[in-house]
């Protein structure tokens, strides 16, 4: 029977990284940017006898200072630079991610208005207004088969995003939209695509590879979604991970080597354009029906050494040049001075002044806001997490601010998103569970053994919260209570020791106020969602605005909230972790430098 070759390429979580430029560090970065994938995309499309499609899986309009600048300086008469770039590259379809709504529906509608490709989102519907996306699209293409005959094929594309988006964006979505569960929505809509003639169905799933079992309303639903009959290909995103990934733990449903979920080809190409997801399908034409015979999944890198002056990258640069230069001028504006260097090289080891600065700002803002309210006597705790922590993004992905001026870009590096600051009422028991969830970032260690792996490679640093205003220890000789997705392993497991507030043990029924970003209090990152009844304050200001206001009010940053946690002492025990080579100058006390590691990182030792 005649066969043909269908190729589906994916970008995801671009976060406005069109150019190969790090706006947080204010220097070029040849490992990221859609511009670095442009020639790779063109080369893969140019291969003979291959029908190729290019798709994006969401979170493309927000996430760096360029995006923030464009959110307030956009021109309705001009095409948004990201959409213009996608038009240049010939995207076939995209899905919306949760961050597309951060700047409001009006902005989103304007930004998407000149897109030359369908925009999909099946499980979010706006009330009483034109939709910003269609639930799905059916792309009519042709495949040249092995017998030399070109035959039509219809590719159904359907987009999904985390249903929590309405909670994460109450100011921009509020009651203007409803969302439905990803898997339940797919069960209803996939048969509709099939009935309308889709031969192959691609799920653009802006949702991570999380638990295997379906739980209604789950944030990271890629695995159960792959189990829905009629879906053939899964393009995932949202969690900024890589898939296939030989370091990921396999299961009967997840094959991280072959790159499959439920046996179906799946890719997740990280973020910022660091990779391109590529799914290749061999399809056969049999009795008027297309059948998938073989499939493969892989991640392709853009070439850091490619000539950026080549035609396609040059066209992308033209689309964004004016906004890029204006953004550079904005982010270089000084906002304060620091007498201490701020860095995140050891952020998940407990040494990060930038997080303490953020925690201090959030806490002070909420304390002031609750003055003369029924809550002003309650103690205020501040929850923060790092966003530049190395990890999958590489050894250049850290905060490193020298003593001296702090610019707007530095505040953006500490908190890069547009989330608003909120305050919720929590009990001592709930705070203990909050910390136990954060402690799943670490592997269990054996007392008396040296140089054991310390960090769970499947746990991103942005899910490792610190609760400023408390003091506590984390005992890594004990097993974790939660897995890295936030699912309880065993409620009897406990790593939190000596949980104190103002020198007194925290009791389960003690009541606190927690200052945190909207994403976290609504269950983002596998944390428990705080009920609406416990939300006592919602700021009109973003977390970053609160941070900037705080540092501007200080005459030289030299006072930081005290370090609030440490690892429990374990006799004759040490662990190893990776950080940047540049971190060597800060390695003191229990942290010592070992030498070069993998992928440009160096290895460091922590002695308990």
- Scanning the structure block, which residue is given the tokens 């290909």? 233
- Are the CB atoms for 1 and 287 separated by under 8 Å? no
Task: List Cβ<8 Å contacts ≥24 apart for 250-257.
Answer: 251/212, 253/212, 253/223, 253/226, 253/227, 254/209, 254/212, 254/223
- Scanning the structure block, which residue is given the tokens 């605005």? 545
According to the model, what pLDDT value does residue 382 have? 98
Domains of the chain, residue spans:
3-326, 351-607
Residues in the chain: 608
Q: What distance in Å separates the CA atoms of residue 82 and residue 190, rounded to the nearest whole number? A: 29
Strand-by-strand arrangement of the 276-286 sheet: 119-120, 93-95, 51-56, 3-11, 276-286, 289-300
- Are the CB atoms for 280 and 7 separated by under 8 Å? yes
According to the model, what pLDDT value does residue 55 have? 99
DSSP label at residue 250: P
According to the model, what pLDDT value does residue 559 have? 67
Going by C-alpha positions, the residue among 567, 185, 509 that lies closest to residue 348 is 567
Helices and strands (DSSP H and E) totals, the chain: 13, 35
The phi and psi torsions of 28 (rounded to 5 degrees) equal -60, 150
- Are the CB atoms for 44 and 9 separated by under 8 Å? yes
Cα angle value 136/138/144 (rounded, 5°): 150
Element (H, E) at 317: helix 311-331
- Are the CB atoms for 22 and 247 separated by under 8 Å? no
Confirm or reject CATH 3.60.21.10 for domain 3-326, answering yes or no. Answer: yes
- Scanning the structure block, which residue is given the tokens 């440009």? 600
List the structure tokens of 305. 């050494």
- Are the CB atoms for 606 and 573 separated by under 8 Å? no
Q: What distance in Å separates the CA atoms of residue 337 and residue 357, rounded to the nearest whole number? A: 13
Mean pLDDT per 10-residue section of the chain, whose length is 608 residues: 96 97 93 93 94 98 95 84 96 98 94 97 91 97 94 98 93 87 98 98 98 95 98 98 92 96 98 97 93 97 65 86 95 93 95 94 97 97 96 91 94 93 98 98 98 94 96 98 95 98 97 97 93 95 95 77 92 98 96 96 98
pTM of the entire predicted model = 0.90
According to the model, what pLDDT value does residue 307 have? 52
Cα angle value 302/308/312 (rounded, 5°): 80
CATH superfamily of 351-607: 5'-Nucleotidase, C-terminal domain (3.90.780.10)
- Scanning the structure block, which residue is given the tokens 């499939």? 295
3-state secondary structure string across 524-562: CCCCCCCCHHHEEEEEEEEHHHHHHHHHHCCCCECCCCC
List the structure tokens of 202. 């691609």
Residues 6+ apart with CB under 8 A from 384: 355, 358, 359, 362, 465, 466, 468, 516
Q: Tell me the angle at which helices 311-331 and 81-89 cross, rounded to the nearest 10 degrees.
A: 170
């Amino acid at each position: 029977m005649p066969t043909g070759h269908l190729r589906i390429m994916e970008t995801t979580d671009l976060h406005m990284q069109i150019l190969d430029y790090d706006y947080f560090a204010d220097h070029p970065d040849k490992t990221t940017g859609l511009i670095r994938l442009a020639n790779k995309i063109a080369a893969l499309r140019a291969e003979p006898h291959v029908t190729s499609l290019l798709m994006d899986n969401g979170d493309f309009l927000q996430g760096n200072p360029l995006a923030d600048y464009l959110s307030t300086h956009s021109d309705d008469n001009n095409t948004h630079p990201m959409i213009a770039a996608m038009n240049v590259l010939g995207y076939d379809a995209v899905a919306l991610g949760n961050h597309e709504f951060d700047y409001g529906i009006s902005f989103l509608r304007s930004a998407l208005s000149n897109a030359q490709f369908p925009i999909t989102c099946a499980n979010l519907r706006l009330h009483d207004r034109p939709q910003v996306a269609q639930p799905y699209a059916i792309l009519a293409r042709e495949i040249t088969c092995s017998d030399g005959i070109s035959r039509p094929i219809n590719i159904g594309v359907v987009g999904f995003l985390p249903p929590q988006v309405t909670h994460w964006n109450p100011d921009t979505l509020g009651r203007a939209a409803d969302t439905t569960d990803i898997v339940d929505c797919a069960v209803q809509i996939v048969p509709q695509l099939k009935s309308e003639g889709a031969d192959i169905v691609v799920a653009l799933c802006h949702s991570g590879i999380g638990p295997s079992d379906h739980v209604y309303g789950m944030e990271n639903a890629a695995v159960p979604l792959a189990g829905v009959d009629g879906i053939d290909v899964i393009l995932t995103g949202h969690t900024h991970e890589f898939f296939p990934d030989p370091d990921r733990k396999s299961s009967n449903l997840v094959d991280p080597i072959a790159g499959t979920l439920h046996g179906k080809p799946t890719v997740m190409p990280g973020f910022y354009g660091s990779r391109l997801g590529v799914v290749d399908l061999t399809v056969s034409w049999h009795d008027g029906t297309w059948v998938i015979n073989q499939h493969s999944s892989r991640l392709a890198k853009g070439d850091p050494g490619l000539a950026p002056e080549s035609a396609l990258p040059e066209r992308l640069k033209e689309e964004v040049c004016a906004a890029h230069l204006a953004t550079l001028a904005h982010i270089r504006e000084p906002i304060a001075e620091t007498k201490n260097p701020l860095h995140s090289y050891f952020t998940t080891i407990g040494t990060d002044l930038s997080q303490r600065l953020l925690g201090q700002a959030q806490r002070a803002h909420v304390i002031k806001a609750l003055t003369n309210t029924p809550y002003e006597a309650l103690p205020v705790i501040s929850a923060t997490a790092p966003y530049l922590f190395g990890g999958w993004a590489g050894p250049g992905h850290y905060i490193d601010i020298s003593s001296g001026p702090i610019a707007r870009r530095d505040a953006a590096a500490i908190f890069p998103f547009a989330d608003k600051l909120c305050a919720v009422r929590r009990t001592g028991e709930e705070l203990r569970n909050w910390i136990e969830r954060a402690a799943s970032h670490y592997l269990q260690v054996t007392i008396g053994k040296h140089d054991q792996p310390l960090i769970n490679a499947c746990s991103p640093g942005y899910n490792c919260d610190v609760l400023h205003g408390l003091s506590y220890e984390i005992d890594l000789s004990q097993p974790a209570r939660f897995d890295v997705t936030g699912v309880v392993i065993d409620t009897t497991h406990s790593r939190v020791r000596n949980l104190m507030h103002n020198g007194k043990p925290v009791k389960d029924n003690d009541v606190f106020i927690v200052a945190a970003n909207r994403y976290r209090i609504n269950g983002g990152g596998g944390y428990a969602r705080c009920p609406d009844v416990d939300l006592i304050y919602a700021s009109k200001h973003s977390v970053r605005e609160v941070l900037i206001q705080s540092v501007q009010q200080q005459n030289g940053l030299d006072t930081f909230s005290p370090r609030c946690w440490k690892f429990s002492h374990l006799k004759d025990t040490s662990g190893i972790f990776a950080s940047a080579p540049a971190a060597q100058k800060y390695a003191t006390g229990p942290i010592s430098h070992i030498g070069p590691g993998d992928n440009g990182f160096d290895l460091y030792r922590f002695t308990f």
